[in-house]
Amino acid sequence: MKLSIPKSFLKPMGNKYLLAFLVFSIWMIFIDDNNILFLRKNINKLKKYRVEKSYYETKIAADSARLKELKDNSKDLETFAREEFYMKKDNEDIFLIIEK
């Protein structure tokens, strides 16, 4: 059983411009180092990084405001040190209650 290809299909394939376009398209979509699939993956990463950037910018702004607040008020600084770093005075004991 011989497979026959119709001549109407082969005629457009004989066109060198169409053939060049098809080869170029396949090359750019799948084979090239900067192919479309690679670019699409990088665009998705870029979107993710932009979201992270905005999160970290708001976090930096909040931390900068908190730092300014701590620099201005020594009472707040002492409270922050006691709560975050469990600092204590010499005559004090600290009891940590850990809830499960």
Residue 90 placed within a domain: no
Tens digits of residue pLDDT in 31-71: 888 888 888 999 999 999 999 999 999 999 999 999 999 99
Output the CA angle 87-90-92, nearest 5 degrees. 75
Residue 96 placed within a domain: no
Q: What is the pLDDT of residue 10?
A: 59
Encoded tokens for 12: 């457009």
Number of structural domains (the chain) is: 1
Average pLDDT in the 9-33 region?
79
Indicate the pTM of the whole model: 0.54
For residue 22, CA distances in Å to 17, 37, 57, 71, 82 come to 9, 17, 46, 66, 69
DSSP letters along 16-74, please?
A: HHHHHHHHHHHIIIIISTT-HHHHHHHHHHHHHHHHHHHHHHHHHHHHHHHHHHHHH-H
Residue 23 placed within a domain: yes
